[in-house]
Structure 1
Amino acid sequence: MRRGSTVEQFLGPVGSPGRPGVRYAEIRPRATSYEVYLHTCEDVGHETFMDLVEFPPFVQDVRDAEDAEEAFGELLGVTEDPYSALVLAEERTGAVRGRWVNEGLTQDEYRDFVRAGRPSGAWPAGRP
């Protein structure tokens, strides 16, 4: 992040078996701040389609669907330093400090999630 690169973290499943979704957190460095986002999208991928940014937004209410495309990614907050951004992401999303990856690598984590059968419980490393 200090080099100006975005970091992301795959957070796992949301929704129900009839309407599955996935979440991931993102920290975007800006000129003088760090923005923390939470992305929630429909789980429409498979082993050859893993690009989470292409997945449709996961909306709770059909009435919200029209605004969802424009508002993809909920801005959780803006901080002045990278450490505060990590703390904010951990507190608001359940992100884990040692699991951040470079932008775009969350699709690899999603692929592992799909290959593991889309577990709804604990991850192989024991993280819920």
Structure 2
Amino acid sequence: MRYLTRQFAIGALRRGNGIEQFLGGVEISGERAIRWVAISPMNRQYRVSLHTVQDPDDERVGDLPNLLSLDPTDEAYVGEGRELARSGDAEEAMALAEHLTDADPQRWVNHAVAGEEYMDYVRSRRSTTQAP
């Protein structure tokens, strides 16, 4: 099981490890895109960031931060995402992320695992379109 319990997610943040959540697909100016939210420990705070990148529609692509950003404010810092909030408390950072992005409290994963969620998303999208 890849999802973290709330306590494990908070523990990961407090140990200095990031967590993230794949939010799904969106359309930006007629182009297919995907989003995910990340919480990263930095300088005794927790940074909440939203990432909006081009959807390559490739189930072999799992390194999401290296995809082309479709968020103009993100272009100067590839892979950093748009900062939505900062907090000195891990639980508050999670609550902020969930509130600001509609993230599901039950679907947090360790850093770099949202790419696996994306690959599952592509596979499920393809199986839906290929069904008779």
Question: TM-score with structure 2 length normalisation?
Answer: 0.77
1:69 has 2:81 as partner:
no
Distance 1:25 1:118, change over 3 A: farther
Residues in 1 aligned to 2:89 and 2:102: alpha-carbon distance in whole angstroms? 19
Question: How do residues 38-57 of structure 1 correspond to structure 2 at under 5 angstroms?
Answer: 38-57=50-69
Do the aligned residues in 2 keep the contact of 1:37 with 1:75 (CA within 8 Å)?
Answer: yes
Structure 1 residue 105 corresponds to structure 2 residue 113: yes
How far does residue 71 in structure 1 lie from its aligned partner after superposition? 4.1
Q: Identical aligned pairs, as a percentage? A: 38
Q: TM-score scaled to structure 1, two decimals?
A: 0.79
| SS of aligned partner of 1:109 | helix
CA separation in 2, counterparts of 1:32 and 1:108?
Answer: 28
Give the distance between the partners of 1:40 and 1:8, measured in 2 at CA: 13
Higher helix share: 2
Instruction: Mark the CA change 1:84 to 1:68 in structure 2 (over 3 Å): closer, same or farther.
Output: closer
Does structure 1 retain, via aligned residues, the 8 Å contact 2:18–2:41?
yes
In the TM superposition, structure 1's runs of 4+ consecutive aligned residues that sit over 4 Å from their partners are: none
Distance 1:68 1:27, change over 3 A: closer
* Long gaps (5+) in structure 2: 1-12, 128-132
Provide the secondary structure at the position in 2 that maps to 1:96. Answer: coil
Task: Give the Å deviation of 1:118.
Answer: 6.4
C-alpha contact (below 8 Å) 1:8/1:101 kept by paired residues: yes
SS of match in other structure, 1:116? helix
Cα shift at 1:30: 2.0
Question: What residue in structure 1 maps to residue 95 of structure 2?
Answer: 87
| Paired residues for 1:4-43 under 5 Å | 4-15=16-27, 18-43=30-55
Q: Secondary structure at the match of 2:14?
A: coil
CA deviations 1:45-74 (Å, max 9, x no partner) are 402222111110114xxxx4xx64214511
CA shift for structure 1 position 99: 0.8
Q: 5+ unaligned residues in a row in structure 1: which ranges?
A: 120-128
Letter in 2 for 1:96: D
Query: 1 CA distance for matches of 2:32 and 2:54?
Result: 6
Confirm or deny: 8 A CA contact 1:7 1:100 kept in the other structure.
yes
